[in-house]
Structure 1
Amino acid sequence: MPQDKIALSFGRTPLEITPPSGCLPTIIRKAAMTKLADGAAAIRRAFDAPIGSTKLSDLSRGKTSACILICDITRPVPNGLFLRPMIETMVAAGVPLSAITVLVATGLHRPNEGAELQELVGDRWVLDHVSVENHFARDDAAHIDLGTTATRGTPIGIDRRFAEADLRIATGLVEPHFMAGWSGGRKVVAPGVAHHTTIRTFHSARFMEDPLAVQCNLTGNPLHEEQLEIIRRLGDVYALNTVIDEDRDLVHVTFGEIIASHLAAVDFIAGVTRIAVPRRFKTVVTSSAGYPLDKTYYQTIKGMVTPLDILAPGGTLIIASQCSEGFGSPEFREAQERLTELGPERFLATLTAKSLAEIDEWQTEMQLKATRLGQVELYTEGLTDEERRITCVTLSADIHASILASMARHEDPHVAFIPEGPYVVPVYVPTAGDLAA
C-alpha cells in the first residue's frame, strides 16, 4: 500500500484513505508492542506464575465445579488460545469436565449463538466437551441477590452459575473503556454477568455524567469502585487478562487474583494506549475499531467519545463504522428516536432523575458528549435511511470529501487520524511554550 494512504479499521477490511491535497496529517497510534512469539506458552506460564494467588492447578484442586466467563462477540478476545489449556489444567487437578461451564458475559447485549458462538469460542474442542451458555440479565431466576453496595446502594445481582461455582474465573481483553476506565477483569463480572438492575444502575446519569467515569481512569471512578465492591462481596474470583496489538495478536497476558492481575495488565497497556498529543485539532478522523466492534451503530458511539480530548471545541469529528449488523437493540433505537423528538437538552433532562436507566439509553447519553463539543459525521455502509435519520449526526457519503470540507470550513489543514478508533486514547498535553503563553 502506498505510504500516503491511511488505513482505518473498518469491518473486516481496512478503509484506505488518501489525505486530500494540502492536508497536514497527524497519525495517532498505540506505541509499538512486541508480539508474543508463542502465545500458548505464555498463557501456560501465566497459569504457573500468577499474580496475587496460587497457580491455576493448585486453585483447581478440591473444586467440584468451575465457571469461566468470556466476553461476548463485541470484543476480539483470543479465547481460542486459552480456553482449552485452562479447562485441561482444571480437569487434570480433579475438576469434573461435566461440571465446568463457559459463560458468555453478555451484560444486556443479545446472546451469541450458532456460527457466531463457534467464532467467539474459537475452539471446537471446548464446544464439544463443556457446557457453553449465554448470560441473560433479564432472567430474574438465573441470578442471586447479594444485597446492595455500601457506598452508593447499587443492587448486586449476579448470575448464579458464576456466583455458586467453586472456582470462578473471568477472562477478557484489557483496553480503554469510555466509562469504566479499562475493560476486562472486574468488568467482565459486573456488568458482564450481572442482573439488569445492577447494569441499569451503573448506567444511570449519576454515574454516566460523573467527570471521573472516563477512559483510562480508575482513580475515583465510581463505576470502577462499585465493581471492586461487588467482586469483594463475591469472594474469591480470578482472572485471565489479555492485551492484543493492532493486528489482534497477543502481546501480554496475566493471570491471578482478579483485581491484582487486572491492574498488572492495566499497568502494561496504559503507557502504550494513552498517547500524548501536543495540540487540539479542528478535524479528527477516527474509526469504530473495525470488526467486531463496528457491527452496530450502538457500539460505534465508543469511537465518538474516546478522542474528544484532542477535538477543538466546535471542531468536526469524522468516524467510519461499517455497522454491518445495523443499528443495535430495539431499546437503543427507541432512545435515539426520543433524542430526535426531544432534542439534546430535553432528552438529557429525562435521564437525570432516574435511579435505573432504561436499557441502552446510556449510549445515546454518551453520544451527547461528542455532539455537545462539535459536529459528528458518520461514514457507514450498513444503515437504512430511517436508521440514518435517527443517528442524530451528520451522514457522510464520501469520507474524503468530508475531510476536505472540514479543512475548508475550519480554515485549518491539520487533521488527526486515529486508525484504530477507541483502542487508542489521545490525550491533549500542551507543550511548555503553550503553558507559558
Structure 2
Amino acid sequence: MRKEKFKFGNSSFEVSVDEENLLDVIRSNPFEPGKTEDEIITDALYNPTGSPRLKDIVNPTDTICIVISDATRAWQRPHKFLPKIVEELNRGGIKDENITFLSALGTHREQTPEEHEMLLGSDLYKRFKVIDHDCHDKNNLVYLGETSYKTPVWINKIAMDSDHIVITGAIIYHFLVGFSGGKKSILPGISSYETIMANHHLSLSNGLGSGSNPLVRSGSIVDNPIHNDMMEAAALVKPSFMFNVVMKPDGTLAGAVAGDYIKAHKAGRDLVSRIDGVSISKKADLIIGSAGGYPKDINLYQSIKSVINMREAANENATLIFIAECSEGLGEDKGLQDIVLNYDSLLDREKALREDYSISKFVGYYFCECGEKYDFIMVSDLDQALVAKANIKVVKTLEEALNLTYAKKGKNLKTILMPQSANTLPIIDNI
C-alpha cells in the first residue's frame, strides 16, 4: 500500500492506496534557485528580459506609477522586492515625490493602513502612501477603447497620467487566465468594474447550456479568450516595465523576472511550469486531492483552485474525492451562496450567471458543474445541506468516501493522489 499525508485544516491524515491502482502522486517538482531572495530580486532587476534596466528607461523628471497587488496576495512578499525597485528608480534620478504606489484591487475591498504597511514594509510605508484603485469610481478612470472581444477598456487615471507604469506581482497558475501576473495588474487590477465583468464573462462558452469554456483553465493561454482580452487591454495601456516573482511551495522565492511585460512573463511562466507543472501519462478514474490545509481550505470559495486542478487529471465519469475542512462553510461571498443554494438545475444556474456575471458566481457554478459531471465527494466539516443541490456529497472521513466510491464502482480504479492540488497542475504527456 502507498501512504501519503494530506492536510486538512490545521491537521493532517494519511491516505492509503493499493500500489497496483496508483498512477501518480502529483507534487511540485524539486527546485532550488541557488541564490538568496535578495540575490534573486537584484539579478532580475539588473538583467531584465527584452528591456533596458528600469533606471535607464526613466528620466529624472518623470512620474512613476508602481502598480502593486493587494493584501490578499501578500504571500508575494512585496515588502522584499518593492524597496529594490524604488532603489533602481532612485538610481535613475527619480525622486520619491514622483513615485506613486497604486494597489490593484480589481473588485476587492478598500484596504486598511495596516495592510498598506504590510505590503510596502515599514521603511517604504514611512516614505510613501498607497492609493487603492476603485473600479466603481468613473471620475478616476480613463477610456482607452475597445478590445476585439468588445470589452470596453477603462483604466485608472492616476496610472494613465504617469509617464511610466511599472507593474509588479507574482506568476502562478490561474484558473481563468492560465497564468497570473503580468497583464493581470492592468485587467482586472486597475480596470473598471464594467471592464472586469466583460472580460471575465468570457469564461463561459457561447450559448446558454454550453457551460464553462474549456479553453479557460489553468496553464492555458493558447486561444484562451480571457488571456487574449487582457493582453489587448494591456497593449492599450503600454506598461513600461514589469517585475514578477515565482514562488516555491514553501512560500519563499524560486525566482523573479523583470523587463518587457510580454517577454519577461513568458520566462516566468516557464519557471512556474518547471516547478508546478507535473506530467502524467494518463487520466484517472479516481482523484484524491487536498486543498493544502488552512487557510487554503478555510471555505469552499477559497478551495476552488484545487478542484480545477483535480479536474485536469480526471477521466470522464471519474470520482473526485476532495479533502477540504471548510471551517467557515461556503464563505461570505453572496454570489457563490446564491448560485449554490438557490437553484435546482445547472441550466438555471448558468442562466443566472449569464444575466448577472461575477467571479464568485462563476466559482459557485464551477463547483456545481463538477457535481453534475463527476461523482464529487468532499471530506469536510461543511454542512451537507449547503451543497445538496449542487450534487456534492459530504462525508466526515476518507474511509467513508472510499467506501461509497468502491461500493458504486468497484475497487479496481486507476487513482491519482494530489496532496498539493491547489498548486500543482497535471499535464498529459501527449498534449
Same fold (TM over 0.5): yes
Question: 2:82 is matched with which residue?
Answer: 83
The alignment-based identity, stated in percent, is: 20
Q: Please report how far the alpha carbon of residue 390 of structure 1 lies from its aligned counterpart in structure 2 after TM superposition.
A: 6.8
User: In 2, distance between residues paired with 1:143 and 1:409?
Assistant: 56
The answer to whether 1:49 aligns with 2:53 is no
Between 1:315-324 and 1:254-263, the stretch displaced more is 315-324
TM-score, normalization by structure 2: 0.86
Question: 1:425 is matched with which residue?
Answer: 425
Q: Please report how far the alpha carbon of residue 28 of structure 1 lies from its aligned counterpart in structure 2 after TM superposition.
A: 0.6
Residue 346 of structure 1 aligns with an amino acid whose one-letter code is D
Question: 1:306 is matched with which residue?
Answer: 309
| Paired positions, count | 421
Between 1:226-235 and 1:404-413, the stretch displaced more is 404-413
Question: 1:237 is matched with which residue?
Answer: 240
Identify if the C-alpha distance between structure 1 residues 188 and 5 changes in structure 2 by more than 3 Å, giving closer, same or farther. Answer: farther
Q: Please report how far the alpha carbon of residue 97 of structure 1 lies from its aligned counterpart in structure 2 after TM superposition.
A: 1.9
Question: 2:140 is matched with which residue?
Answer: 142
User: In 1, distance between residues paired with 2:387 and 2:113?
Assistant: 29
Question: 2:107 is matched with which residue?
Answer: 108
Q: 2:35 aligns with which of 37, 42, 47?
A: 37
User: In 2, distance between residues paired with 1:229 and 1:160?
Assistant: 18
User: In 2, distance between residues paired with 1:186 and 1:162?
Assistant: 14
Q: 2:347 aligns with which of 342, 345, 348?
A: 345
Task: Kindly indicate whether the alpha-carbon contact (under 8 Å) linking 1:180 and 1:223 is maintained by their aligned counterparts in 2.
Answer: yes
Task: Kindly indicate whether the alpha-carbon contact (under 8 Å) linking 2:372 and 2:391 is maintained by their aligned counterparts in 1.
Answer: no
Deviations 1:230-276 (A, max 9, x none): 11111233211211121122112110111111011112222443322
Residue 140 of structure 2 aligns with an amino acid whose one-letter code is A
Q: Please report how far the alpha carbon of residue 278 of structure 1 lies from its aligned counterpart in structure 2 after TM superposition.
A: 2.0
The answer to whether 1:379 aligns with 2:371 is no
Identify if the C-alpha distance between structure 1 residues 67 and 343 changes in structure 2 by more than 3 Å, giving closer, same or farther. Answer: same
Question: 2:64 is matched with which residue?
Answer: 65
Identify if the C-alpha distance between structure 1 residues 35 and 389 changes in structure 2 by more than 3 Å, giving closer, same or farther. Answer: farther
Identify if the C-alpha distance between structure 1 residues 205 and 348 changes in structure 2 by more than 3 Å, giving closer, same or farther. Answer: farther
Deviations 1:12-51 (A, max 9, x none): x463323267885431112221134311112111111111
Question: 1:435 is matched with which residue?
Answer: none
Q: 1:248 aligns with which of 251, 257, 260?
A: 251
Residue 143 of structure 1 aligns with an amino acid whose one-letter code is L
Q: 1:163 aligns with which of 151, 160, 163?
A: 160
Identify if the C-alpha distance between structure 1 residues 30 and 249 changes in structure 2 by more than 3 Å, giving closer, same or farther. Answer: same
Residue 107 of structure 2 aligns with an amino acid whose one-letter code is L
Q: Please report how far the alpha carbon of residue 408 of structure 1 lies from its aligned counterpart in structure 2 after TM superposition.
A: 4.2
Counterparts in 2 of 1:164-313, with a 5 A limit? Answer: 164-204=161-201, 207=204, 209-290=212-293, 292-313=295-316
Question: 1:434 is matched with which residue?
Answer: none
Identify if the C-alpha distance between structure 1 residues 102 and 407 changes in structure 2 by more than 3 Å, giving closer, same or farther. Answer: farther
User: In 2, distance between residues paired with 1:342 and 1:29?
Assistant: 37
Residue 304 of structure 1 aligns with an amino acid whose one-letter code is V
Counterparts in 2 of 1:2-21, with a 5 A limit? Answer: 5-9=3-7, 13=10, 15-19=12-16
Name structure 1 gaps, 5 residues minimum: 432-437
Identify if the C-alpha distance between structure 1 residues 36 and 106 changes in structure 2 by more than 3 Å, giving closer, same or farther. Answer: farther
Task: Kindly indicate whether the alpha-carbon contact (under 8 Å) linking 1:20 and 1:403 is maintained by their aligned counterparts in 2.
Answer: no
User: In 2, distance between residues paired with 1:420 and 1:65?
Assistant: 39
User: In 1, distance between residues paired with 2:221 and 2:359?
Assistant: 24
Counterparts in 2 of 1:124-139, with a 5 A limit? Answer: 124-139=122-137
Deviations 1:103-138 (A, max 9, x none): 33232233443655555x272223222212333322
Name structure 2 gaps, 5 residues minimum: 206-211
Deviations 1:142-189 (A, max 9, x none): 32221211x111011122233322221222221111221111111122
User: In 1, distance between residues paired with 2:190 and 2:8?
Assistant: 29
Cα RMSD, aligned residues only: 3.0
Identify if the C-alpha distance between structure 1 residues 286 and 74 changes in structure 2 by more than 3 Å, giving closer, same or farther. Answer: farther
Task: Kindly indicate whether the alpha-carbon contact (under 8 Å) linking 2:202 and 2:225 is maintained by their aligned counterparts in 1.
Answer: no
User: In 2, distance between residues paired with 1:295 and 1:275?
Assistant: 26
Q: 2:335 aligns with which of 304, 317, 331?
A: 331
Question: 2:365 is matched with which residue?
Answer: 365
Identify if the C-alpha distance between structure 1 residues 409 and 36 changes in structure 2 by more than 3 Å, giving closer, same or farther. Answer: farther
Residue 87 of structure 2 aligns with an amino acid whose one-letter code is E
User: In 2, distance between residues paired with 1:392 and 1:95?
Assistant: 57
User: In 2, distance between residues paired with 1:14 and 1:265?
Assistant: 33
User: In 1, distance between residues paired with 2:144 and 2:368?
Assistant: 34
Identify if the C-alpha distance between structure 1 residues 103 and 385 changes in structure 2 by more than 3 Å, giving closer, same or farther. Answer: farther
Q: Please report how far the alpha carbon of residue 291 of structure 1 lies from its aligned counterpart in structure 2 after TM superposition.
A: 5.2
User: In 1, distance between residues paired with 2:97 and 2:281?
Assistant: 56
The answer to whether 1:152 aligns with 2:149 is yes
Task: Kindly indicate whether the alpha-carbon contact (under 8 Å) linking 2:216 and 2:224 is maintained by their aligned counterparts in 1.
Answer: yes
Report SS of the residue matched to 2:76.
coil
TM-score, normalization by structure 1: 0.85
User: In 2, distance between residues paired with 1:129 and 1:16?
Assistant: 47
Residue 163 of structure 1 aligns with an amino acid whose one-letter code is M
Q: Please report how far the alpha carbon of residue 218 of structure 1 lies from its aligned counterpart in structure 2 after TM superposition.
A: 1.3
